[in-house]
């Protein structure tokens, strides 16, 4: 965890003024079966897209609330960082996208039996959404419906 003093002055001012949201109670559902029998999907806010996908739209005021589907068999080298935030160092996730979208690690866990299976698709959202109304009302429920239709039991959220 960094110190506020490590950020540039504009980022510090933004972070101090940002209206942080609290979700209370946290929506939590206990597992109904062992993790070794569950289907897992990844949801990341790294803003990754695949080379042939439309990048996230940086011109959307408050942040692009859309998501991109990432297939389970993706080569992580094909993931492109389009995250708009300048408040963190992107170099690590550019060198190894598994840091922000751990698809290779998830597949390893499935191969060893720690997880029952990995879903055929996962979702990448843009982080730094400062106006989350559209995300909360439309986009997140649409992604959740797709995951339910896929029979996903567990979602591993990777906030960036």
Question: What DSSP string describes 112-157?
Answer: TTSSSEE-SEEEEEBS--S-THHIIIIIHHHHHHHHHHTT--EEEE
What is the rounded CA–CA span in Å between residue 155 and residue 141? 14
- Please report, for the chain, the start and end positions of each structural domain, with discontinuous segments joined by +: 32-158
Q: Which residues contact 42 (CB under 8 A, 6 or more apart)?
A: 70, 101, 102, 103, 106, 122, 123, 155, 156, 158
pLDDT band of 154, cuts 50, 70, 90 = very high
Indicate if the pLDDT at residue 18 is higher than 90.
no
* 46 secondary structure, DSSP code: B
pLDDT band of 4, cuts 50, 70, 90 = confident
What is the rounded CA–CA span in Å between residue 12 and residue 121? 36
Counting residues of the chain whose pLDDT is more than 70, the rounded percentage is: 98
The pLDDT score that the predictor gives to residue 141 is 97
Average pLDDT over residues 64-71: 96
Per the listing, tokens 């499935």 go with: 110
- Give 7's Cβ-side CA count (13 Å radius): 16
Mean pLDDT across the chain, nearest whole number? 90
């Amino acid at each position: 965890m960094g110190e506020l003093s490590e950020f540039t002055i504009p980022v510090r001012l933004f972070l101090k003024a940002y209206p942080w949201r609290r979700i209370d109670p946290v929506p939590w559902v206990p597992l109904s079966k062992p993790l070794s029998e569950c289907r897992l999907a990844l949801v990341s806010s790294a803003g990754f897209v695949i080379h042939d996908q439309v990048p996230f739209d940086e011109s959307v005021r408050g942040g692009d609330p859309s998501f991109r589907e990432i297939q389970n068999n993706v080569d992580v080298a094909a993931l492109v960082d389009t995250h708009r935030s300048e408040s963190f160092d992107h170099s690590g996730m550019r060198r190894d996208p598994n840091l922000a979208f751990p698809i290779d690690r998830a597949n390893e866990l499935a191969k060893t039996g720690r997880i029952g299976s990995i879903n055929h698709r996962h979702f990448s959202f843009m982080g730094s959404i400062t106006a989350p109304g559209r995300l909360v009302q439309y986009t997140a429920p649409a992604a959740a419906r797709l995951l339910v239709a896929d029979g996903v039991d567990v979602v591993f959220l990777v906030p960036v």
